[in-house]
Amino acid sequence: MNIVWTVLGIIGVYIYGVFLMGLGRKISARVQLRYGPPVYQNYIDILKLWTKKTNISHGIMFDLGPVFLLTGSIGTLLLIPIAATEQLMYFGFSGDIIVIMYLMVFGSLGFALAASQGANPFGIMGISRALTLLAAYELPFILGIVILMMDANSASLSNIISHQAGGYMNWYIFKQPLAAIPAFIALLGMMGKQPFDIPIAPQEIATGPMAEFGGKYLGMMMSSHAIFMTAKYILFVNLFLGGAGNPINMIFKVFLIWLFPLFVGLVYPRFKTSQAVRFFWGVPSLIGLIGLIIHWLR
Protein backbone atom coordinates (compact mmCIF):
# COMPACT_ATOMS: atom_id res chain seq x y z
CA MET A 1 0.00 0.00 0.00
CA ASN A 2 2.87 2.36 -0.70
CA ILE A 3 0.90 4.40 -3.23
CA VAL A 4 -1.83 5.22 -0.69
CA TRP A 5 0.75 6.55 1.75
CA THR A 6 2.41 8.55 -1.01
CA VAL A 7 -0.84 10.24 -2.03
CA LEU A 8 -1.74 10.85 1.62
CA GLY A 9 1.68 12.40 2.19
CA ILE A 10 1.31 14.77 -0.77
CA ILE A 11 -2.18 15.84 0.37
CA GLY A 12 -0.99 16.33 3.92
CA VAL A 13 1.97 18.45 2.81
CA TYR A 14 -0.36 20.51 0.60
CA ILE A 15 -2.82 21.19 3.42
CA TYR A 16 -0.02 22.04 5.85
CA GLY A 17 1.70 24.30 3.31
CA VAL A 18 -1.45 26.33 2.66
CA PHE A 19 -2.02 26.57 6.41
CA LEU A 20 1.52 27.91 6.87
CA MET A 21 0.94 30.53 4.16
CA GLY A 22 -2.20 31.72 5.95
CA LEU A 23 -0.50 31.69 9.34
CA GLY A 24 2.35 33.73 7.86
CA ARG A 25 -0.10 36.40 6.76
CA LYS A 26 -1.63 36.46 10.24
CA ILE A 27 1.74 36.72 12.00
CA SER A 28 3.01 39.46 9.72
CA ALA A 29 -0.25 41.33 10.30
CA ARG A 30 0.26 41.12 14.06
CA VAL A 31 3.85 42.35 13.74
CA GLN A 32 2.57 45.36 11.81
CA LEU A 33 -0.10 45.99 14.51
CA ARG A 34 -2.93 44.85 12.26
CA TYR A 35 -5.66 42.32 13.00
CA GLY A 36 -4.91 40.30 9.89
CA PRO A 37 -6.90 37.83 7.80
CA PRO A 38 -8.15 34.54 9.29
CA VAL A 39 -5.59 31.72 9.14
CA TYR A 40 -7.75 29.82 6.65
CA GLN A 41 -7.80 32.76 4.23
CA ASN A 42 -5.44 31.06 1.76
CA TYR A 43 -7.75 28.05 1.40
CA ILE A 44 -10.53 30.45 0.39
CA ASP A 45 -8.19 32.28 -2.00
CA ILE A 46 -7.24 29.04 -3.76
CA LEU A 47 -10.89 27.90 -3.87
CA LYS A 48 -11.88 31.24 -5.39
CA LEU A 49 -9.15 31.03 -8.03
CA TRP A 50 -10.30 27.54 -8.97
CA THR A 51 -13.91 28.73 -9.39
CA LYS A 52 -13.10 31.57 -11.82
CA LYS A 53 -15.30 31.40 -14.90
CA THR A 54 -12.88 32.56 -17.61
CA ASN A 55 -9.20 31.66 -17.93
CA ILE A 56 -7.14 33.36 -20.59
CA SER A 57 -4.49 31.29 -22.38
CA HIS A 58 -1.64 32.45 -24.61
CA GLY A 59 -0.58 29.11 -26.07
CA ILE A 60 0.55 25.62 -25.21
CA MET A 61 3.70 26.54 -23.28
CA PHE A 62 1.62 29.01 -21.28
CA ASP A 63 -0.77 26.21 -20.30
CA LEU A 64 2.10 23.91 -19.41
CA GLY A 65 3.90 26.41 -17.14
CA PRO A 66 1.86 25.80 -13.97
CA VAL A 67 1.93 22.07 -14.77
CA PHE A 68 5.74 22.19 -14.83
CA LEU A 69 5.72 23.95 -11.48
CA LEU A 70 3.42 21.34 -9.94
CA THR A 71 5.44 18.49 -11.46
CA GLY A 72 8.69 19.95 -10.13
CA SER A 73 7.32 20.41 -6.63
CA ILE A 74 5.66 16.99 -6.35
CA GLY A 75 8.73 15.34 -7.90
CA THR A 76 10.97 17.03 -5.34
CA LEU A 77 8.66 16.00 -2.52
CA LEU A 78 8.56 12.34 -3.58
CA LEU A 79 12.33 11.98 -3.16
CA ILE A 80 12.38 13.56 0.31
CA PRO A 81 11.50 11.31 3.25
CA ILE A 82 8.74 12.98 5.30
CA ALA A 83 9.32 10.83 8.38
CA ALA A 84 11.58 7.89 9.10
CA THR A 85 8.72 5.41 9.17
CA GLU A 86 8.54 2.55 6.71
CA GLN A 87 5.64 3.99 4.73
CA LEU A 88 6.77 7.60 4.39
CA MET A 89 10.35 7.01 3.19
CA TYR A 90 9.21 7.13 -0.48
CA PHE A 91 11.67 6.59 -3.32
CA GLY A 92 15.09 7.25 -1.82
CA PHE A 93 18.19 5.76 -3.44
CA SER A 94 21.92 6.33 -3.19
CA GLY A 95 22.75 9.72 -4.69
CA ASP A 96 19.25 11.14 -4.39
CA ILE A 97 20.43 14.52 -3.04
CA ILE A 98 21.94 15.35 -6.43
CA VAL A 99 18.65 14.45 -8.16
CA ILE A 100 16.73 16.58 -5.65
CA MET A 101 18.96 19.57 -6.40
CA TYR A 102 18.24 19.15 -10.12
CA LEU A 103 14.49 18.76 -9.59
CA MET A 104 14.34 21.91 -7.48
CA VAL A 105 15.40 23.94 -10.55
CA PHE A 106 13.07 22.10 -12.95
CA GLY A 107 9.93 24.06 -12.04
CA SER A 108 11.53 27.49 -12.42
CA LEU A 109 13.07 26.62 -15.78
CA GLY A 110 9.79 25.25 -17.14
CA PHE A 111 7.95 28.26 -15.85
CA ALA A 112 10.44 30.57 -17.56
CA LEU A 113 9.25 29.23 -20.92
CA ALA A 114 5.61 29.79 -19.96
CA ALA A 115 6.13 33.35 -18.75
CA SER A 116 8.02 34.14 -21.95
CA GLN A 117 5.09 32.99 -24.08
CA GLY A 118 2.83 35.32 -22.13
CA ALA A 119 4.88 38.10 -23.77
CA ASN A 120 4.38 40.43 -20.82
CA PRO A 121 7.54 42.54 -20.33
CA PHE A 122 7.10 42.31 -16.55
CA GLY A 123 7.01 38.53 -16.83
CA ILE A 124 10.24 38.41 -18.78
CA MET A 125 11.92 40.81 -16.35
CA GLY A 126 10.76 38.68 -13.42
CA ILE A 127 12.03 35.48 -15.00
CA SER A 128 15.47 36.96 -15.68
CA ARG A 129 15.61 38.12 -12.06
CA ALA A 130 14.47 34.69 -10.80
CA LEU A 131 17.15 32.85 -12.75
CA THR A 132 19.83 35.30 -11.62
CA LEU A 133 18.78 34.80 -8.01
CA LEU A 134 18.77 31.04 -8.54
CA ALA A 135 22.38 31.13 -9.72
CA ALA A 136 23.21 33.30 -6.69
CA TYR A 137 21.81 31.16 -3.87
CA GLU A 138 22.71 27.79 -5.37
CA LEU A 139 26.41 28.37 -4.59
CA PRO A 140 26.22 28.63 -0.76
CA PHE A 141 23.52 25.93 -0.70
CA ILE A 142 25.64 23.46 -2.64
CA LEU A 143 28.74 24.29 -0.58
CA GLY A 144 26.76 23.49 2.59
CA ILE A 145 25.46 20.22 1.18
CA VAL A 146 28.86 19.11 -0.09
CA ILE A 147 30.25 19.41 3.45
CA LEU A 148 27.42 17.18 4.73
CA MET A 149 28.00 14.66 1.98
CA MET A 150 31.72 14.55 2.85
CA ASP A 151 30.92 14.14 6.55
CA ALA A 152 28.41 11.31 6.00
CA ASN A 153 30.57 9.92 3.18
CA SER A 154 27.41 9.42 1.14
CA ALA A 155 25.12 11.31 -1.23
CA SER A 156 22.01 9.56 0.03
CA LEU A 157 19.52 11.50 2.12
CA SER A 158 18.58 8.51 4.31
CA ASN A 159 22.30 7.96 5.11
CA ILE A 160 22.65 11.60 6.14
CA ILE A 161 19.59 11.25 8.40
CA SER A 162 20.93 8.10 10.02
CA HIS A 163 24.29 9.84 10.61
CA GLN A 164 22.49 12.34 12.85
CA ALA A 165 20.83 9.72 15.04
CA GLY A 166 21.26 9.78 18.83
CA GLY A 167 20.56 13.10 20.55
CA TYR A 168 20.25 16.59 19.25
CA MET A 169 23.99 17.30 19.61
CA ASN A 170 24.46 14.98 16.63
CA TRP A 171 22.34 17.17 14.38
CA TYR A 172 24.34 18.75 11.59
CA ILE A 173 23.17 22.23 12.58
CA PHE A 174 25.32 21.83 15.74
CA LYS A 175 27.91 19.36 14.43
CA GLN A 176 28.64 21.27 11.20
CA PRO A 177 27.74 24.95 11.82
CA LEU A 178 30.00 26.02 8.95
CA ALA A 179 27.72 24.03 6.62
CA ALA A 180 24.49 25.13 8.30
CA ILE A 181 25.10 28.90 8.15
CA PRO A 182 25.50 29.17 4.34
CA ALA A 183 22.68 26.71 3.70
CA PHE A 184 20.25 28.55 5.97
CA ILE A 185 21.15 31.88 4.38
CA ALA A 186 20.51 30.25 1.00
CA LEU A 187 17.13 29.17 2.38
CA LEU A 188 16.17 32.84 2.67
CA GLY A 189 16.78 33.25 -1.04
CA MET A 190 14.90 30.05 -1.91
CA MET A 191 11.78 31.07 -0.05
CA GLY A 192 11.33 34.29 -2.02
CA LYS A 193 10.47 36.14 1.16
CA GLN A 194 11.10 39.81 1.81
CA PRO A 195 14.83 40.56 1.46
CA PHE A 196 15.04 38.33 -1.62
CA ASP A 197 11.59 38.69 -3.17
CA ILE A 198 13.30 40.19 -6.21
CA PRO A 199 11.54 37.98 -8.83
CA ILE A 200 8.00 38.84 -7.70
CA ALA A 201 8.32 42.43 -6.49
CA PRO A 202 4.69 43.57 -6.62
CA GLN A 203 5.56 47.25 -6.27
CA GLU A 204 8.26 47.20 -8.96
CA ILE A 205 7.37 44.68 -11.64
CA ALA A 206 3.74 43.72 -10.80
CA THR A 207 4.39 40.17 -9.47
CA GLY A 208 6.86 39.46 -12.26
CA PRO A 209 6.45 36.01 -13.85
CA MET A 210 2.88 35.70 -12.56
CA ALA A 211 1.76 38.97 -14.17
CA GLU A 212 -0.09 37.33 -17.05
CA PHE A 213 -1.54 34.40 -15.09
CA GLY A 214 -5.00 34.59 -13.62
CA GLY A 215 -7.85 32.35 -12.54
CA LYS A 216 -7.18 28.62 -12.46
CA TYR A 217 -3.55 29.09 -13.59
CA LEU A 218 -2.84 31.20 -10.54
CA GLY A 219 -4.68 28.72 -8.30
CA MET A 220 -2.47 25.92 -9.58
CA MET A 221 0.64 28.04 -9.03
CA MET A 222 -0.37 28.86 -5.46
CA SER A 223 -0.97 25.16 -4.79
CA SER A 224 2.40 24.16 -6.20
CA HIS A 225 4.07 26.95 -4.23
CA ALA A 226 2.56 25.57 -1.02
CA ILE A 227 3.86 22.06 -1.78
CA PHE A 228 7.29 23.27 -2.95
CA MET A 229 7.80 25.55 0.05
CA THR A 230 6.98 22.78 2.51
CA ALA A 231 9.11 20.28 0.58
CA LYS A 232 12.12 22.56 0.92
CA TYR A 233 11.56 22.96 4.66
CA ILE A 234 11.26 19.17 5.00
CA LEU A 235 14.54 18.82 3.09
CA PHE A 236 16.22 21.22 5.49
CA VAL A 237 14.84 19.37 8.52
CA ASN A 238 16.23 16.15 7.08
CA LEU A 239 19.60 17.68 6.32
CA PHE A 240 20.24 19.71 9.43
CA LEU A 241 17.72 18.86 12.16
CA GLY A 242 18.12 15.11 12.08
CA GLY A 243 14.90 14.23 10.29
CA ALA A 244 11.87 13.07 12.24
CA GLY A 245 10.62 9.79 13.62
CA ASN A 246 6.96 10.51 13.02
CA PRO A 247 4.91 13.08 11.06
CA ILE A 248 3.96 15.09 14.20
CA ASN A 249 7.62 15.65 14.98
CA MET A 250 8.22 16.72 11.38
CA ILE A 251 5.34 19.22 11.50
CA PHE A 252 6.84 20.79 14.61
CA LYS A 253 10.37 21.01 13.19
CA VAL A 254 9.15 22.45 9.88
CA PHE A 255 7.25 25.07 11.86
CA LEU A 256 10.43 26.01 13.76
CA ILE A 257 12.49 26.48 10.59
CA TRP A 258 9.61 28.27 8.86
CA LEU A 259 9.70 31.02 11.49
CA PHE A 260 13.25 31.99 10.47
CA PRO A 261 12.61 33.31 6.91
CA LEU A 262 9.29 34.77 8.09
CA PHE A 263 10.81 37.00 10.77
CA VAL A 264 13.82 37.92 8.65
CA GLY A 265 11.41 38.90 5.91
CA LEU A 266 9.40 41.11 8.23
CA VAL A 267 12.43 43.13 9.27
CA TYR A 268 14.48 43.68 6.12
CA PRO A 269 13.53 45.54 2.94
CA ARG A 270 14.15 44.23 -0.56
CA PHE A 271 17.62 43.97 -2.10
CA LYS A 272 18.41 44.96 -5.65
CA THR A 273 19.32 42.05 -7.94
CA SER A 274 23.01 42.98 -8.07
CA GLN A 275 23.11 43.43 -4.29
CA ALA A 276 21.55 40.00 -3.76
CA VAL A 277 24.08 38.29 -6.02
CA ARG A 278 26.95 40.11 -4.32
CA PHE A 279 25.53 39.13 -0.91
CA PHE A 280 25.18 35.42 -1.68
CA TRP A 281 28.56 35.13 -3.39
CA GLY A 282 30.22 37.05 -0.56
CA VAL A 283 30.07 36.10 3.11
CA PRO A 284 27.89 32.91 2.99
CA SER A 285 29.93 31.38 0.18
CA LEU A 286 33.13 32.31 1.98
CA ILE A 287 31.92 30.65 5.19
CA GLY A 288 31.00 27.56 3.19
CA LEU A 289 34.38 27.52 1.49
CA ILE A 290 36.21 27.82 4.83
CA GLY A 291 34.08 24.97 6.22
CA LEU A 292 34.93 22.86 3.19
CA ILE A 293 38.67 23.49 3.58
CA ILE A 294 38.60 22.77 7.33
CA HIS A 295 36.73 19.55 6.69
CA TRP A 296 39.20 18.63 3.94
CA LEU A 297 42.23 19.15 6.18
CA ARG A 298 40.79 17.23 9.13
Partner 1 sequence: MIEKKKRNIFQIIDDWASARSLWLLMYCTGCGAIELPPTMTSRYDMERFGIAPAGTPRQADILLITGYLSIKTLKRVIRAYEQMQSPKYVIGLGSCTINGGMYWDSYNTIKMLDLYLPVDIWIAGCMPRPESVIGGLNKLSDIIKAGEANGWKKYNENLKWYRANQKKVIKKWDLPEFNY
Footprint on this chain of partner 1 (rule: CB under 8 A): 25, 29, 32-38, 41, 44-45, 47-48, 51-56, 122, 202, 206-207, 210-215, 218
The distance of closest approach from Cβ of residue 210 to partner 1 in the complex, given in angstroms and rounded to an integer, is 7
**Cα–Cα distance between 231 and 221 in angstroms, integer?**
15
Shortest CB 162 distance to partner 1, Å: 44
Give the nearer residue to partner 1 in terms of CB position, either 56 or 294. Answer: 56
Task: Report the residue number, 24 or 144, with the smaller CB distance to partner 1.
Answer: 24
Closest to 171 measured CA to CA, from 233, 244, 100? 244
Contacts of 34 (CB under 8 A, 6+ apart): none
In the Cβ-directed half-sphere of 201, how many Cα atoms lie within 13 Å? 18
Say if CB 190 and CB 137 are below 8 A apart. Answer: yes
Burial tier of 16 (Cβ tally within 10 Å: 0-12, 13-18, 19+)? buried
| DSSP state, residue 245 | S
Min separation Cβ 134 and partner 1, Å: 21
Contact (CB, 8 A) for 7 and 227: no
Q: How far apart are CA 113 and CA 79, in angstroms?
A: 25
Residue number, 34 or 278, with CB nearest to partner 1: 34
Q: How far is the CB of 35 from partner 1 (least distance, A)?
A: 5
Contact 96, 155 (CB under 8 A): yes
Measured distance CA(256)–CA(244) in Å, rounded: 13
Helix axes 121-152, 273-280, angle to 10 degrees: 10
Beta carbon nearer to partner 1, 29 or 259: 29
Smallest gap from residue 45 Cβ to partner 1 (A): 5
Which residue's CB is nearer to partner 1, number 62 or number 240? 62
Residue 206: CB minimum distance to partner 1, A? 4
Rounded to an integer, what distance in angstroms lies between the CA atom of residue 178 and that of residue 292? 8
Cβ proximity to partner 1: between 56 and 248 the closer is: 56
- Closest distance between partner 1 and the C-beta of residue 289, in Å? 38
Q: 151 vs 204, which CB is nearer to partner 1?
A: 204
CA distance 257 to 124: 32
Q: Which residues are CB-neighbours of 111 under 8 A, at least 6 positions away?
A: 65, 66, 68, 69, 127, 209
